[in-house]
């Protein structure tokens, strides 16, 4: 038995898709001579994930995140490379494997498919039968997870009458009723308000702690990753670019601190120029009487001391950049280098 | 394990109960075609006599039975399977430990049960209106055997539609292939005319579609009996085996091509 829940080695996925120029003549031509292009969604991606880890799997649109999840869930066949999940080959879709994995998709939901006009509980009951749960197991899990996710009051409402957020939460509960060992979550907070996002973050951490589950989480919302994940894997154009903890990423990619300085009065441009003349310092943003600069981590303390000594300031704050800022910078620098 | 598929059917029954009024209008679908065919055949056989061994009573009964059987075989819902391949929602089922074929068979049966109930009500109404022309068998075994063959016909009709829908793994759009195939079933099931009145009847009587309407109706009219029923039963069992096996094989090969488009 492997010590990893997920083992991925040199994973490659190539799609073939039809292409054609715009226009009626081109459409007619494509009937007789269709043209195809190959799209490399994943190119030699490798990583391992251990039990109980929550891994943030991030990248821009079209990076290959959802394709990876679909391969891990057994939906897609890899073109090349090896994948083992819970000691099984996912695309063989053995009952044993499928009974231990949950794939929660961004835009499609099981409850919407089977219970759109029916109460949420009817959808949950269908899950009970699919995974052959005893009634007491089913009842206990529905009670516990509904309480954790705070959806007790919507269980008897038809799915179509629920708000997007309520539906999403019910969907997540439905997909955890069989206590999966691996949860693949694709954009879980898409369209959720900040309260629901927070509830989901807390729920996820609590669930993993209680059930020792492993989670792979893709999201464009970096708060999801910062609040839930202990490790992050970054991909772009089908290639893995980073695999490690979030702090390491911030140091490796950014290596800077933000210093927000608020002055007693509105500052003039000469002051801004003075800061810019310090090596390793750049101005990030300006407000009426506050200035945010970024300084290389090695000199940030000295810069802060100098500011305190030289200027009349009302407040000063040294901050780490957010993951969102790090990721944005990382990918935009990558684009410039292309 | 069967409980899982029964639950799938139950969900569909509960869903259809939300659309009671819609199902009620289905009565008109069951009522009107047999009445129209009655007037057609009444004109054709206005001077008495018979065609190919069918007198007016046989024809009227034949059409009431085949209309009910064929129109109540869940063909039109086939298209959902093809659409789920195209829009990627098939992923929802590929990640669950279920048999996709059985799941859809039971879900479709569930979605049609309400229509069957209204369909039976429609048959009773038509039979009362045309009571002087309808042959009503007295033996329970006739009803039992007709229903048994109709159920076999449902499995055959569903399997055929299932395989055609799986063409969506290969083709961008298979809607018209499915519509064309529905037309084929309507003709070759004997819904439009008894198969033994068609030219080259031995070919049509070899194909499996006869079990969707023609054979159950012939049993109802007691035009097939004794050893012939046993022969038809064995033939139906072989066709079911072939089509169900083919359904699973095509799904296995096709799902390798699945691209799961969309999130």
- Looking at beta carbons, which residues of chain B come within 8 Å of A124? none
Q: What is the pLDDT of residues A98-113, one digit of tens each?
A: 999 999 988 778 998 8
Give the distance from residue A252's alpha carbon to the nearest chain B alpha carbon, in angstroms.
Answer: 31
User: CB contact, 8 Å: A78 with chain B?
Assistant: no
Cα B11 to Cα A115, B20, B108, B111, B119: the distances in Å are 7, 15, 11, 9, 21
Task: Give the nearest partner residue to A118 out of B4, B6, B14, using CB atoms.
Answer: B14
pLDDT band at A125 (very low <50, low <70, confident <90, very high): very high
- Looking at beta carbons, which residues of chain A come within 8 Å of B89? 108, 113
- Looking at beta carbons, which residues of chain A come within 8 Å of B88? 108
User: CB contact, 8 Å: A171 with chain B?
Assistant: no
User: CB contact, 8 Å: B77 with chain A?
Assistant: no
User: CB contact, 8 Å: B110 with chain A?
Assistant: no
Q: What is the pLDDT of residues A234-250, one digit of tens each?
A: 998 889 988 998 888 77
Instruction: Say yes or no for a CB contact (<8 Å) between B260 and A70.
Output: yes
pLDDT reading at A300 higher than 70: yes
Give the distance from residue A156's alpha carbon to the nearest chain B alpha carbon, in angstroms.
Answer: 14
Give the span between the Cα atoms of A258 and A282, in whole angstroms.
Answer: 10
User: CB contact, 8 Å: A57 with chain B?
Assistant: no
pLDDT of residue A142: 94
pLDDT reading at B262 higher than 70: no
- Looking at beta carbons, which residues of chain A come within 8 Å of B11? 114-115, 118, 122-123, 126
Taking CA atoms, what residue in A is nearest to B84?
A113
Q: Does this model's pTM top 0.80?
A: yes
Indicate which of B6, B96, B171, B258 best probes the interface with A, i.e. most A CBs within 10 Å of its own CB.
Answer: B96
Indicate which of A68, A72, A117, A132 best probes the interface with B, i.e. most B CBs within 10 Å of its own CB.
Answer: A117
Least confident of A181-185, A199-203, B198-202, B210-214: B198-202
Task: Give the nearest partner residue to B92 out of A76, A101, A108, using CB atoms.
Answer: A108
Give the span between the Cα atoms of A225 and A201, in whole angstroms.
Answer: 9
Q: Which domains does chain A have, with CATH numbers?
A: 4-250 (3.40.50.300), 256-337 (3.30.70.250)
Task: Give the nearest partner residue to A118 out of B15, B88, B258, using CB atoms.
Answer: B15
Q: What are phi and psi of A76, to 5 degrees?
A: -110, 150
pLDDT of residue A333: 66
**Token pair of A9 as six digits:** 């080695």
What percentage of chain B reaches a pLDDT higher than 70?
90
Q: Is the distance from CB of B53 to CB of B145 less than 8 angstroms?
A: no
pLDDT band at B50 (very low <50, low <70, confident <90, very high): confident
**Which strands make up the sheet holding A54-58, listed edge to edge?**
A101-104, A182-186, A214-218, A54-58, A231-236, A239-244
Task: Give the nearest partner residue to B263 out of A76, A106, A129, using CB atoms.
Answer: A106
Domain boundaries, chain B: 2-255
Instruction: Say yes or no for a CB contact (<8 Å) between B8 and A15.
Output: no
pLDDT of residue B55: 85
């Amino acid at each position: 038995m492997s010590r990893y829940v997920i083992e991925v080695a040199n994973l490659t996925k190539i799609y073939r898709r039809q292409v054609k120029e715009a226009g009626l003549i081109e459409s007619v031509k494509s009937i007789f001579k269709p043209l195809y292009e190959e799209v490399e969604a994943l190119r030699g991606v490798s990583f391992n994930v251990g039990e109980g880890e929550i891994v943030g799997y991030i990248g821009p649109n079209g990076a290959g995140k959802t394709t990876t999840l679909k391969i891990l869930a057994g939906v897609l066949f890899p073109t090349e490379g090896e994948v083992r999940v819970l000691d099984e080959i996912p695309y063989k879709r053995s009952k044993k494997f499928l009974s231990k994995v949950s794939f929660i998709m961004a835009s499609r939901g099981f409850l919407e498919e089977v219970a759109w006009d029916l109460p949420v509980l009817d959808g949950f009951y269908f899950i009970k039968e699919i995974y052959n749960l005893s009634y007491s197991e089913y009842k206990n899990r529905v009670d516990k997870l509904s309480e954790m996710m705070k959806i007790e009051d919507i269980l008897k409402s038809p799915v179509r009458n629920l708000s997007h957020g309520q539906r999403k939460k019910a969907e997540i509960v439905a997909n955890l009723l069989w206590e999966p060992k691996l949860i693949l979550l694709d954009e879980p907070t898409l369209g959720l308000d900040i309260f629901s996002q927070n509830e989901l973050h807390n729920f996820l951490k609590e669930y993993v702690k209680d059930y020792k589950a492993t989670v792979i989480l893709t999201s464009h919302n970096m708060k999801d990753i910062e609040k839930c994940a202990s490790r992050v894997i970054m991909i772009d154009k089908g290639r893995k670019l980073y695999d490690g903890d979030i702090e390491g990423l911030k140091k490796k990619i950014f290596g800077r601190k933000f210093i927000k300085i608020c002055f007693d009065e509105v500052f003039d441009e000469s002051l801004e120029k003075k800061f810019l003349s310090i090596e390793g310092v750049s101005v990030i943003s300006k407000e009426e009487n506050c200035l945010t600069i970024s300084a290389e981590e090695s000199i940030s303390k000295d810069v802060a001391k100098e500011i305190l000594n030289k200027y009349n300031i009302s407040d000063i704050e040294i901050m780490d950049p957010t993951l969102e800022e790090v990721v944005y910078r990382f990918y935009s620098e990558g684009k410039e280098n292309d | 394990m069967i409980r899982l598929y029964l639950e799938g059917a139950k969900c569909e029954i509960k869903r259809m109960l939300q659309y009671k009024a819609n199902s009620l209008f289905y009565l008109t679908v069951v009522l009107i075609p047999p009445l129209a065919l009655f007037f057609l055949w009444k004109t054709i056989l206005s001077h008495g006599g018979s065609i190919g061994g069918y007198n007016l009573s046989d024809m009227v009964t034949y059409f009431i039975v085949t209309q009910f059987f064929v129109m109540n075989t869940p063909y039109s819902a086939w298209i959902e399977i093809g659409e789920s391949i195209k829009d990627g929602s098939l992923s929802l089922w590929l990640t669950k430990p279920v048999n996709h074929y059985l799941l859809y068979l039971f879900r479709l049966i569930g979605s049609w049960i309400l229509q069957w109930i209204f369909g039976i009500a429609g048959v009773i109404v038509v039979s009362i209106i045309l009571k002087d022309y309808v042959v009503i068998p007295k033996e329970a075994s006739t009803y039992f055997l007709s229903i048994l063959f109709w159920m076999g016909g449902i499995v055959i009709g569903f399997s055929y539609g299932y395989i055609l829908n799986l063409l969506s793994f290969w083709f961008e759009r298979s809607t018209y292939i499915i519509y064309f195939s529905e037309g084929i079933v309507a003709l070759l099931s004997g819904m439009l005319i008894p198969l033994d009145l068609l030219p080259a009847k031995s070919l049509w009587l070899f194909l499996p579609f006869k079990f969707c309407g023609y054979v159950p109706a012939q049993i109802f009219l007691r035009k097939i009996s004794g050893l012939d029923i046993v022969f038809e039963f064995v033939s139906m069992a072989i066709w079911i085996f072939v089509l169900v096996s083919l359904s699973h094989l095509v799904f296995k090969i096709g799902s390798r091509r699945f691209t799961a488009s969309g999130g």
